[in-house]
Chains A and B, each alone.
Chain A
Amino acid sequence: MKKFKSKKGLLIAFITSIFVVIAGCSNNDAASQSSEGAEGAPTSIVMSWPRDIGSMNPHVYNPSQLLTQSMIYEPLVSYEEGGKLKPHLAESWTISEDGLEYTFKLRENVKFTDGSSFNASIVKKNFDTIMENKNSHSWLGVINVLEKTEVIDEQTFKMVLSEPYYPALQDLAVVRPVRFLGESGFPEDGDTSKGITEPVGTGPWVLEDYKKDEYATFTRNPDYWGESPEVEKVTIKIIPDAETRVLAFEKGELDLIYGEGAISMDSFNHLKESGEYKTDLSEPVGTRSLLLNTTNDKLADLKVRLALQHGFNKEAMVDGITLGIEEEADKILSTNFPYTDVEVEAIEYDVEKAASYLDEAGWKLPSGKAVREKGGQSLELELMYDKTDPIQKAMAETLQAEWSAIGVKLDIIGVELTVQIERRKAGDFDVDFWYNYGAPYDPHSFINVVAEEGWGVSEAHSNLPMKDELDKQVDKALASTNDAERQKLYGTILKTLQEQSVIVPVSYMKKTVVYQNGIEEFVFPANRDEHPFNEMKVSQ
């Protein structure tokens, strides 16, 4: 058969040309993204986010992202370190003695990015559209007790509540929905739930460029009323995959990786140990806990609950699974939230004590058997976990092994998050993973769900002998207008909850950040949902 000499040459030429093209291409795209610009170039930050930033509507949820909403829109009061509330768009406020009327003196000379003034009328207009869709925001306590709003004068705004509710100000510090859209951002009918015309806020950042699913660029608001951020430009690239995010960071296409779950614990430690980048962990943002449901007869017994809590090596589990990123939790709420610095007794790892509690509760280990029994029933429980969460899965497996050593059979079942929430709400579980809400929602949201049904937590506590008393204390704390009384009530509530062991604290969750050396200073925002760009300092 005749061979094709000319074809062979063609093939070699083709392969060579591919290599020449590949070798010849230099990736100038990455270079253009660099933040450590030359002298005189604007200081910019490039970070990634897993989802598109959405419509930037301050009053709706999906698909707008909290991070970017907080860049454009501002609250009346801001939540600072340790739960301190500071004036923001409201310069000051007074609360009537009965705790029903909140009068805000609004900051003067604040302009929206459309040039309009920030005043009591626009604040009322925003409140009105929010309250038109009250049901959508019923998760937020202040919305449920807000009776009416009033414009007192150009710069004075009043909020009247139907009943006293001390966390009203904390609720106003959350990122959505109580933030303020400028006049030109409103649709014709004034109902923002259907959309806005443009993102007009008073915040330090302005959306300059946006390409759906690709990136969003923010520049400093030149007319910002407060102190301008040092960074001049922030680009948020949409990178849904966590591993790709790490690769982009290693290549230098990103300046930082920030956000809850933005990076796996493995990758965080890998980047940290490389020594080439800066890394940091935040103060606890929430507690990873187990919820033991007292509506289950076996778990209704305090001794069984205490046995389970004594029966696993929390420190080893947390350290091993979270690779040192999370911290072993002794208290249900970490002490960086207001009113939570309460003396309570930690429940230590003690297998013998666990076994003796179970013996005392009547759960005996028959000879030759591995599972304890009582009245012909075996001590078998089910733990439900979110199957997409690798930490929950690993912890469930560890607990299964640990509790089997004290004669408890734990069946673990992975479900979708929505199923987990639904079953929790219905009280249809034995043991479940549960997290509190973090700043600025806690501790008031936490005690609220202990008392109020429909969240699964109150249901889990329902067989406690002191449940009615606990509920009354919660109601009293939330309505209290006296700080000292409130502190006392929180102390009592947290102590009871700790002793009753329905909520078993496992670990304090922390936010992670990894950043390039060009960033000199990074400060975690006190509010869990706020963006971190205002305080960031970069080298020129």
Chain B
Amino acid sequence: MFIYLIKRLLAVIPIILFAIFLMFVLIRFSPVDPAEAYLAAANIHPTDEILAEKRHEFGLDQPLLVQYVQTVKDVVQLDFGNSYVTNTSVWQEIATRMPATIQLAVSSIILSLVISVPLGFLAAVYKNSLIDHLSRLLSYLGASIPQFWLGYVLIFLFSVKLDMFPVEGRGTWQHFVLPSITLSLALIAIYTRLLRASVLDELENVYVVYGRTRGIKEKTIMVKHVLRIAISPMLTGLGMNLGKLLTGTIIVEQVFSWPGFGRFFIEAIFNRDIPVIQSYVVLAACLFIICNLIVDLVQLYIDPRISRKGMAQS
């Protein structure tokens, strides 16, 4: 297990290096000069003097190879430098904004689990019943409605018309409701269908019939055996989405004025704030890897057969 963990963690290194390379190339391929983008954001006309000064300040007047080597050196040491726009340490910017993003991601995941686990499970158990149809409808909606549109509709209905929740901002539990629903609907759509399909598969297994003939309680069979195994694919999906949620709340943060890192990243892209973009790409790569690793470990715990299979193979 320890070796497995080490192997997985070591795999982070080439991925991060590739991410840095890709990011460096893409930014340099862009026709937009970060120094000009900085000045445009400040409403300053880019005279040659100011441009030269800014390029020097940002290190953009160095040869590309020197810039690349410096970028790799800095990023490997997790030194992202200062944001071009705010002139503040990128780590400080992350520390200010990440808690808001994490809160939103966690609340959305909790909401999607709370709804999709019972819904998916019951939709399978009561196949073709009203609840199954309801779950199907919810899945269709969740999969087809764009997040920004859903956000606006929820604000219009529940904030402007019904005055139940604030339109934007952060501070009270009410502020969490609409952004969390907006983010979680798409997840509910996926998880509900995943779990339903998985539970239906498990119900076909002989161990269910065997359990019943042994007189084991139906509830025990379903919860301790069927659900426990059936939830595995859903957890994989969750792991993949956790990384996406922590880095991908951008649209929802924008619509609900949620002061998270996603919103900051959007501004950074427009302003070609390279240190912020770099930090985001590296953190996103790390997050995806770590989230997937955690999910794999949880799966090993839930379904020991995976672990045994893995050991037998090795």
Give me the interface of A with B, judged by CB distance under 8 Å: 1-4, 7, 11, 14, 22-23, 25-27, 29-30, 51, 54-55, 61-63, 66, 135-136, 138-139, 194-195, 211-215, 237-241, 243-244, 247-248, 250-251, 253, 415-419, 421-422, 425, 454-455
Contact = CB atoms under 8 A, between A and B. Distances in A.
B174 to A, nearest CB: 6
Residue from A51, A251, A253 whose CB has the most chain B CB atoms within 10 Å: A251
B126 A213 contact: no
Nearest to A240: B254
Interface stretch (B42-50, B69-77, B298-306): B42-50
A213 B43 contact: no
A237 B175 CA distance: 15
B48 A27 contact: no
Contact of A214 (B170, B254, B264): B170
Contact of B172 (A1, A29, A243): A29
B50 A247 contact: no
B165 A25 contact: yes
Contacts of A211: 259
14 contacts: A7-B122, A30-B163, A51-B267, A61-B39, A61-B43, A66-B43, A139-B50, A211-B259, A238-B257, A239-B168, A247-B167, A419-B31, A421-B40, A425-B46
Contacts of B160: 247, 250-251
A165 B301 CA distance: 78
Nearest to B35: A418
Contact of A26 (B50, B164, B168, B259): B164
Contact of B164 (A1, A25, A194): A25
B152 interface: yes
A470 to B, nearest CB: 20
Contacts of B128: none
A519 B177 CA distance: 31
Contact of B167 (A14, A136, A215, A253): A253
B201 to A, nearest CB: 15
Contact of A421 (B46, B84, B163): B46
Given A51-B267, A418-B37, 9 more contacts: A11-B122, A22-B158, A30-B167, A138-B49, A237-B169, A239-B168, A416-B32, A421-B36, A425-B46
A63 to B, nearest CB: 5
Nearest to B86: A63
Nearest to A388: B270
B166 A253 contact: yes
10 nearest A-B residue pairs (beta carbon): A61-B42, A213-B259, A248-B167, A418-B36, A62-B42, A2-B218, A239-B257, A418-B32, A139-B45, A251-B160
A212 B96 CA distance: 8
A139 B44 contact: yes
Contacts of B79: none
A119 B29 CA distance: 51
Nearest to A419: B31
B169 to A, nearest CB: 6
Contacts of A455: 45
Contacts of B254: 240-241
Nearest to B271: A62
A399 B32 CA distance: 27
A450 B14 CA distance: 53
Interface string B258-278: 010001101100011000000
Interface in B220-268: 222, 254-257, 259, 263-264, 266-267
A241 B166 contact: no
B218 A29 contact: no
A214 B169 contact: yes
Contacts of B49: 135, 138
B87 interface: yes
B33 interface: yes
B96 A136 contact: no
B164 A241 contact: no
Contact of A244 (B31, B164, B168): B168
Contacts of B61: none
A212 B259 contact: yes
A52 to B, nearest CB: 8
B159 A247 contact: yes
A247 B125 contact: no
Contacts of B165: 25, 27
Contacts of A422: 33, 36, 46
B40 A27 contact: no
Contacts of A54: 86
Given A61-B43, A213-B264, A244 B86 contact: no
B12 to A, nearest CB: 30
B138 interface: no
Contact of B259 (A27, A30, A61, A238): A238
A27 B166 contact: yes
Nearest to B38: A62
Contacts of A419: 31-32
B118 A213 contact: no
A375 to B, nearest CB: 33
Nearest to A194: B87
A241 B257 contact: yes
Contacts of B27: none
B7 interface: no
B109 interface: no
Contacts of A194: 87
B185 to A, nearest CB: 14
B152 A243 contact: yes
Contacts of A243: 152, 255
A55 B85 CA distance: 11
A171 to B, nearest CB: 14
B140 interface: no
B31 A416 contact: yes
A1 B209 CA distance: 10
A25 B163 contact: no
A240 B43 contact: no
A94 B10 CA distance: 72
Contact of B125 (A4, A238, A253): A4
B46 A62 contact: no
Contact of B85 (A1, A63, A239, A416): A63
B97 interface: yes
Given A7-B122, A244-B255, A27 B32 contact: no
Contacts of A11: 118, 122, 131
B214 interface: no
A11 B131 CA distance: 10
A21 to B, nearest CB: 9
Contacts of B46: 421-422, 425
A14 B42 CA distance: 51
B314 to A, nearest CB: 40
Nearest to B208: A1
B40 A418 contact: yes
Contacts of A237: 168-169, 257
A419 to B, nearest CB: 5
B164 A22 contact: yes
A62 B86 contact: yes
Contacts of A415: 31
Interface string B38-72: 11111111111110010000000000000000000
A321 B167 CA distance: 29
Interface string B169-194: 11110110100000000000000000
A261 to B, nearest CB: 12
Nearest to A33: B166
Nearest to B273: A62
B263 A251 contact: no
Contacts of B222: 4
B156 interface: yes
